[in-house]
Amino acid sequence: MTSTLDASTEQVPISFSDPVPAGGRRGWDWDDDNEYDIWSCKFSADGNEVIAGGCRMIFVYDLIADRRTVKISGHTNDVNSCCWADTASGNVLISASDDTFVKVWDRRSLAETRKPSGVLIGHTEGITYVSAKGDGRYVISNGKDQILRLWDLRMMRSNIDFEGVADKHYGIPRFDYRPAETTGQQYIYSGSSDGKIHIWSLDGRVVQVLDRSYTLSMALDPSAPDPQDITPARVRPCVRDVSWHSQQPILMSTGWLGRHWGMSEGSVVARHEWKGLSKLRNSLEDHVEKQKLERAERAQRRAMRRDAMPGTFVAELSDEDTEMEDL
């Protein structure tokens, strides 16, 4: 753990291992159950705790008390992602694993049973990411089965139901919510291996698709008109993670450029901005529809100017319209 508030390079390690027994040393071998890989971690809403997921395990670490408070062996494969279900209490934990299941844990009942309070069943391949809306009700998950799912925790299966189907396999051997400050978490977004970023509304409609192959250099001024000729990149990046700014209509994405293991590999970070969206105070659908209407109007005016009889008066395009044609 490190601080970003100053220039200090000090890093504070957080140990999720079991405490060393009093008066003795803990043994170790290649199959030591006290060695854990950590694949995911996240701060609690108040910043006092950290939840982490690793090799079959879920942990909670109390930063104030400087000790691990929760250890759950809850999955049969790597826990790739974990989070808190709500921002109010911090009692409900969510974990997602390569065993294809999303599990819900209530810390208040862990003293009596180490079983999950509920399980979300539906993915047919491992789960790469899970994110909670923060209201204790809705969760989204992204899986290797190429499916992003929206879950209602009120509809989760009980652990008894889960154990009846836990051994069944139905498969073939970075998403997130739009920030509440701008649009009330109306959208879900996710990157894809085809180099595109898809944005959905909560009712499942595709609102917009961003193509990373048309990304411009980040050195360009985002407030300036876009270049007239935008040549798509030769290699489509695999979009691994996407994050939307909490206050501004700006989205950042990371992409992997390599197609084969070798020196030609690389990664690139891209910035996506919706010009004027913050001034409209409308939904993203309104912004996209406004752009479509403006393009259609400009196309119609160009056609009228091209097909007009000699001597006919046709309103010229303004400088603003000319700039808009370049976007």
Mean pLDDT rounded to a whole number for the chain:
77
- Whichever domain contains 49, its CATH number is 2.130.10.10
Question: Is 211 inside any structural domain?
Answer: no
Distance CA 103, CA 116 (A): 6
Check whether 230 has a pLDDT greater than 80.
Answer: no
> Could you tell me if residue 59 is inside a domain?
yes
pLDDT band at 187 (very low <50, low <70, confident <90, very high): confident
Note whether residue 22 is domain-resident: no
According to the model, what pLDDT value does residue 202 have?
A: 80
pLDDT digits (tens, 9 = 90+) for 202-223: 888 888 888 888 777 666 666 6
Residue 320 confidence (pLDDT)? 46
Residue 164 has pLDDT above 90, yes or no: no
* Total number of domains in the chain: 1
Report in angstroms the alpha-carbon separations of 296 from 121, 290, 302, 316. 45, 10, 10, 16
The answer to whether 132 touches 93, Cβ cutoff 8 Å, is: no
User: What percent of the chain is predicted at pLDDT more than 90?
Assistant: 26
Q: 57: pLDDT confidence band, cut at 50, 70 and 90?
A: very high
Task: Note the pLDDT tens digit of each residue in 291-303.
Answer: 778 778 877 777 7
pTM for this model (two decimals)? 0.57
| Beta carbons of 203 and 186 less than 8 angstroms apart | no
The DSSP secondary structure of 184-244, one letter per residue, reads SS-EEEEE-TTSEEEEEETTS-EEEEEEGGGPPPTTS-TTSPPPS--PPPSS--EEEEEEE
Confidence of residue 327 (pLDDT cuts 50, 70, 90): very low
In a domain, 266, yes or no: no
Q: What is the SS3 assignment for 289?
A: helix
**φ/ψ bin of 30: left (φ > 0), alpha (ψ from -120 to 50), beta (otherwise):** alpha
| 131 in a structural domain | yes
Give the pLDDT confidence of 92-147 residue by residue, as tens digits: 999 999 999 999 999 999 888 889 999 999 998 899 999 999 899 999 999 988 88
Give the Cβ contact number of residue 236 at 10 Å: 18
Least Cα distance to 178 among 155, 151, 198 occurs for 198
Residue 207 lies in a domain: no
When pLDDT is averaged across residues 78-82 and rounded to a whole number, the result is: 93
Mean per-residue pLDDT for 54-69?
A: 91
pLDDT at 295: 75
The domain in which residue 160 lies consists of 33-173
Check residues 75 and 29 and name the one with the higher pLDDT: 75
Q: Torsion angle of alpha carbons 238, 241, 246, 248, nearest 10°?
A: -20
What is the predicted pLDDT for the residue at 265? 61
Residue 294 lies in a domain: no
Report helix, strand or coil for 326. Answer: coil
pLDDT of residue 325: 41
CA–CA distance, 183 with 44 (Å, rounded to integer): 23
| Contacts (Cβ under 8 Å, ≥6 apart) of 268 | 215, 237, 254, 255, 257
Nearest CA among 271, 82, 283 for reference residue 178: 283
DSSP assignment string, 48-109: SEEEEEEEEEEEEEETTTTEEEEEEEEEEEEEEEEEESBSSS--EEEEEETTS-EEEEEGGG
pLDDT over 50 (residue 172)? no
Q: Residue 274: inside a domain, yes or no?
A: no
pLDDT at 272 over 90: no
